[in-house]
């Protein structure tokens, strides 16, 4: 080389393709990388109190009722009256028939509400209205008597679908920035109660309060294409650290081909990246 002349060195970096020369010709290998990110899911829940009634509210409701009537014949006890045997209705005779009828009517009212709700979720009034009549009273001398018990109860029904829409919106509103709901089914739980006594229902307009809870899972929101561009050309260690910063708590597995390659391909298209959401750990 002549003194004083600059030396020009041409360097060509080939990271996407490795060319190996062999005695029988050239063998062409393409550098590739397979990346798997296992991200944990976190539980997220939203609690909402929904008021509803004929007068309006967050939740549309409708009033309905059930009624039932049953009668039963009872026998009076035989006791001594003025030195003779006579059948006289005792309090225990009357109560035995009345209690049995009350239980029967109450059960029928519960079944009636279920039938009349037509598949909707409902909140029953705190107490049914029960009335009893008899053709005789305690102390009457008679071999038998008949008691009739009538009952009625009201309830407020609402659409589960309508409530689920409200709860799902509340749950989505709580999703932190940079995260998203998983595809796991959202679980909805409801608990309702009447507002005040039965007489207050028509006065308040909001005849029922329903506490609803929506349970779901969230994970870090990740774009495979963006992540591939982010880690191309990095060493496997640096690539794993970069991905873990995007999804804290995640596990990263990287495989390169050829196996001894010290970096990931510079071309993002030569990287396959899969995001795996880890199974839930039984929160529900």
CA distance linking residue 271 with residue 77, whole number of Å: 93
Cα dihedral 171, 172, 176, 178, rounded to 10, equals 150
> What pLDDT score does 78 carry?
94
Q: Are strands 179-181 and 187-194 parallel, antiparallel or unpaired?
A: unpaired
Q: pTM of the predicted model, to two decimals?
A: 0.64
Residue 188 near residue 284 (C-beta atoms within 8 A): no
Regions of the chain short of the pLDDT cut 50: 1-27, 197-205, 284
Would you tell me which CATH number, out of the four given (3.30.1450.10, 3.40.50.360, 2.40.50.100, 3.30.110.160), belongs to the domain 61-157?
Answer: 3.30.110.160
> What pLDDT score does 228 carry?
95
> What pLDDT score does 61 carry?
83
> What pLDDT score does 269 carry?
92
- Compute the residue count for the chain: 284
pLDDT tens-digit readout, 29-61 = 578 999 999 999 999 999 988 877 665 567 888
Given the structure tokens 């029922």, which residue do they identify?
Answer: 208
Q: Enumerate the domain spans of the chain.
A: 32-60+159-284, 61-157
CB atoms within 10 A of CB 6: 5
Question: What token pair was written down for 132?
Answer: 């009893």
């Amino acid at each position: 080389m002549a003194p004083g002349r600059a030396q020009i060195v041409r360097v060509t970096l080939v990271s996407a393709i490795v060319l190996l020369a062999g005695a029988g010709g050239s063998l062409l290998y393409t550098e590739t990388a397979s990346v798997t990110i296992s991200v944990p899911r976190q539980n997220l829940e939203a609690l909402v109190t929904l008021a509803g009634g004929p007068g309006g509210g967050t939740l549309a409701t409708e009033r309905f009722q059930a009624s039932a009537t049953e009668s039963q014949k009872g026998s009076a006890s035989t006791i001594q009256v003025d030195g003779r045997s006579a059948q006289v209705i005792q309090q225990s005779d009357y109560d035995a028939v009345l209690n049995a009828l009350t239980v029967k009517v109450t059960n029928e009212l519960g079944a009636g509400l279920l039938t009349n709700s037509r598949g909707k979720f409902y909140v029953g009034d705190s107490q049914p209205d029960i009335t009893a009549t008899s053709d005789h009273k305690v102390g009457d001398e008679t071999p038998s008597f008949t008691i009739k018990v009538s009952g009625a109860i009201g309830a407020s029904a609402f659409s589960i679908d309508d409530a689920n829409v409200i709860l799902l919106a509340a749950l989505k509103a709580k999703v932190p920035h940079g995260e998203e709901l998983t595809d796991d089914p959202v679980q909805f739980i409801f608990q309702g109660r009447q507002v005040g006594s039965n007489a207050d229902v028509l006065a308040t307009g909001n005849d029922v309060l329903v506490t609803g809870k929506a349970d779901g899972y969230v994970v870090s929101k990740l774009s495979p294409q963006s992540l591939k561009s982010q880690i191309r050309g990095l060493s496997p260690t640096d690539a794993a650290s970069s991905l873990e910063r995007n999804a804290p708590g995640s596990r990263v597995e990287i495989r390169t081909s050829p196996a001894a390659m010290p970096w990931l391909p510079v071309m993002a298209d030569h990287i396959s990246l899969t995001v795996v959401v880890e199974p839930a750990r039984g929160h529900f």
